[in-house]
Amino acid sequence: MTNNDPDADFTQREDKSAYETNAPVLYQAADGIATITMNRPAFHNVQNSQMTYALDDAFKRAVDDDSVKVIVLCGNGKHFSAGHDIGSPGRDINKPFERKQLWWDHTNKPGAEMLYAREQEVYLGMCRRWRDIPKPTIAMVHGACVAGGLMLAWVCDLIVASDDAFFQDPVVRMGIPGVEYFAHAHELNPRVAKEFLFLGERMGADRAYMMGMVNRVVSRADLESTVYAMSAKIASQPRLGLALTKTVINRVEELQGLRSTMDLAFGYHHFAHAHSQVMGVGSLGGYDAKSMAQANKKDNAG
Ligand code: ZN
């Protein structure tokens, strides 16, 4: 194993990110429906902080606009999202942003504190914040919905997928027990969640539908029309009624243990990152974007 992680030695950390776009998220609103599009197609919409904060701005804009009743989240290009940015030139984990939670800035912190503070803010904190947006959200998923991409789909109220979509969390390979927003055992039956994580295999849209993780599966050609027809129907409902309904069901999931599960998993998640650093292979078990893609390719070839 090689140490590919630029953060293994925090004293040498500096921001070397170079963005390929100034518009990592696109926003459009019409007929009561806001469409928020992840727009890093060259990198399969991997999520860097630039995109995270742009997503947050877009969600805020949709919430603030009284004419918007429903929010659709989708990805530009071949895939919905290939996960967190662990290797594009725009990877910006050492760059400070104006934070939305009250955890302190991570960029100058030593040891495991750096990633812990960062992931409280940009992964767990942001996902919880987006899950509680008081307007219905629909993830329109095509192609890959992997790791960090799953988190973005899971925070949405409904998930509509095209039949070419697949879902996958391969991070156990890095020694990590699943992505930061650990909803696996709530989105899936626990035994299926174990299979999903242990094997790290792709779950096709059809099986995800059977598991109740996805609301509808349609052909790629019908994906947009299906999502917008559902959105139009939802948009005809009263705003407050929708917000109250969403709030109740989100609280039900918390009463079922979602929040506690996630807090517990987040602790283990950071134990795993820290263990990996103690072992001298960086925070990702010695993997980077390239070696993960290679391992994944080999896995899915058979
Ligand atoms: Zn992490």
Better-scored residue on pLDDT, 7 or 76: 76
Per-residue three-class SS string for 223-263: HHHHHHHHHHHHHCCCHHHHHHHHHHHHHHHHHCCHHHHHH
Cα 84 to Cα 49: distance, rounded to the nearest angstrom: 9
Judged against a pLDDT cut of 70, whether residue 58 lies above it is answered with yes
What is the distance in A from the centroid of ligand 1 to the CA of 46?
A: 14
What is the distance in A from the centroid of ligand 1 to the CA of 161?
A: 26
- H-state helical runs in the chain: 49-64, 111-119, 126-131, 148-154, 184-187, 190-199, 205-210, 220-235, 239-255, 258-278, 289-301
Spell out a b/e string for 181-190, using b for 16 or more CB atoms within 10 Å of the CB, else e: bbbbbbbbee
- Let me know: does 219 contact 163? Beta carbons within 8 Å: yes
Mean of per-residue pLDDT scores for the chain: 95
- pLDDT for position 297: 83
Q: Give the type of residue at 81.
A: S
Tokens 């039900």: give the residue. 252
Pick the CATH number of 25-299 from 3.90.226.10, 3.30.1510.10, 3.30.1340.10, 1.10.3430.10: 3.90.226.10
Average pLDDT over residues 80-97: 96
Instruction: Please state the domain extents for the chain.
Output: 25-299
Better-scored residue on pLDDT, 220 or 300: 220
Helix (H, G, I), strand (E, B) or coil at 276: helix
- pLDDT for position 202: 98
Helix (H, G, I), strand (E, B) or coil at 164: coil
Range name among 7-11, 89-93, 198-202, 264-268 with the lowest pLDDT average: 7-11
Tokens 């242990």: give the residue. 198
Residue 3's pLDDT band (cuts 50, 70, 90): very low
The pLDDT tens digits of the residues spanning 125-148 come to: 999 999 999 999 999 999 999 999
- pLDDT for position 298: 83
Tokens 């503070």: give the residue. 117
- State pTM to two decimals: 0.95
- pLDDT for position 12: 54
Nearest to 193 by CA among 163, 157, 154, 158: 154
- Let me know: does 284 contact 291? Beta carbons within 8 Å: no
What is the distance in A from the centroid of ligand 1 to the CA of 120?
A: 9
What is the distance in A from the centroid of ligand 1 to the CA of 181?
A: 9
What is the distance in A from the centroid of ligand 1 to the CA of 61?
A: 28
217 beta partners:
161
What is the distance in A from the centroid of ligand 1 to the CA of 83?
A: 11
Q: Residues with beta carbon < 5 A to ion ligand 1?
A: 119
- pLDDT for position 1: 38
Residue 11's pLDDT band (cuts 50, 70, 90): very low
What is the distance in A from the centroid of ligand 1 to the CA of 203?
A: 22
Percent above pLDDT 90 for the chain: 92
What is the distance in A from the centroid of ligand 1 to the CA of 111?
A: 14
The pLDDT tens digits of the residues spanning 27-50 come to: 999 999 999 999 999 999 999 999
